[in-house]
Amino acid sequence: PFRTFPLALDVGSGRGYIAQHLTKETVEKLIQVDVAENALKNAVETEIPTVKVVADEEFLPFKEDTFDLVVSSLSLHWVNDLPKAFKEIHQVLRPDGVFIGAMFGGDTLYELRCSLQLAELEREGGFSPHVSPFTAVADLGHLLSRAGFNTLTVDTDEIQVNYPGLFEVMEDLQGKYIFFGDINGMGESNCSWNRKPLLHRETMLAAAAIYREMYGNSDGSVPATFQIYYMIGWKYHESQAKPAQRGSATVSFGDLAKIEGLISRGKK
């Protein structure tokens, strides 16, 4: 039997894409939280009763032990203080509640980042960040553990999308809280303090040529890599399964090499 969550929270919900994949049989009521009021106003319809709240992921306006489930999809890379965001999520979860999240990871858009840096170094004698900073997968489990989560599961996956060129990559990323380059004065606010306000046309053209030369596909397109981290963490409850006491194991890891022989002997 599947578990039902009476009250769930979607952190960084945007237009409510997660809600489309939830059912009334799984989640009875959903709270959607995002800092972008316009995104919440234009959220897609869902069969689950929802409440929309404009709030920062680092300062969740809910009481401790409120939610049975917290979800977050591809928004946490944008927060300024990720450890604090994880602590906030842990705090608003009820005991035995679960956090299920996905976020962009360290190798995301490495092709674009490298091309822009090389072009800026060549044309302008220095570079500044134009892509959001990303957490390394090796740090993610540690951050979740420090926030108080247990029974952790962390996984990673890479998705590669092909585009006609660098300009199409950047156009697709505008407004997705990943790329904060500013072309001809058009762009979104930046979570990085020290950056140049504009990407000059000459620099952009050089970056496009570098991108195609270094990473281009045989058909003329260019790849953009997105690394996704998937995470599951539970808030402690005494009913949860506990690890066996140290020294209570009856089989040694060293015996695993002999497992085939042991199985064959048992069959005989």
What is the average pLDDT across 106-130?
Answer: 82
DSSP single-letter state for residue 230: E
Q: Which CATH architecture has domain 1-104?
A: 3-Layer(aba) Sandwich (3.40)
Mean pLDDT (whole number) for 89-112: 94
Q: How do the domains of the chain map onto residue ranges? A: 1-104
Quick one: pLDDT at residue 228? 94
Q: Which of 17-26, 74-83, 105-114, 243-252 has the lowest mean pLDDT?
A: 243-252
What DSSP assignment string belongs to 97-142? EEEEEEEEBTTTTHHHHHHHHHHHHHHHS-----B---B-HHHHHH
Residue 93, CB-side half-sphere exposure with 13 Å CA sphere: 26
The first and second tokens of residue 107, run together, are 């190798």
Burial class of residue 25 (count of CB atoms within 10 Å of its CB; 0-12, 13-18, 19+): exposed
pLDDT band for position 8 (cuts 50, 70, 90): very high
| Euclidean distance between CA atoms 48 and 93, whole angstroms | 20
Say which range, 77-86, 91-100, 182-191, 251-260, has the weakest mean pLDDT.
182-191
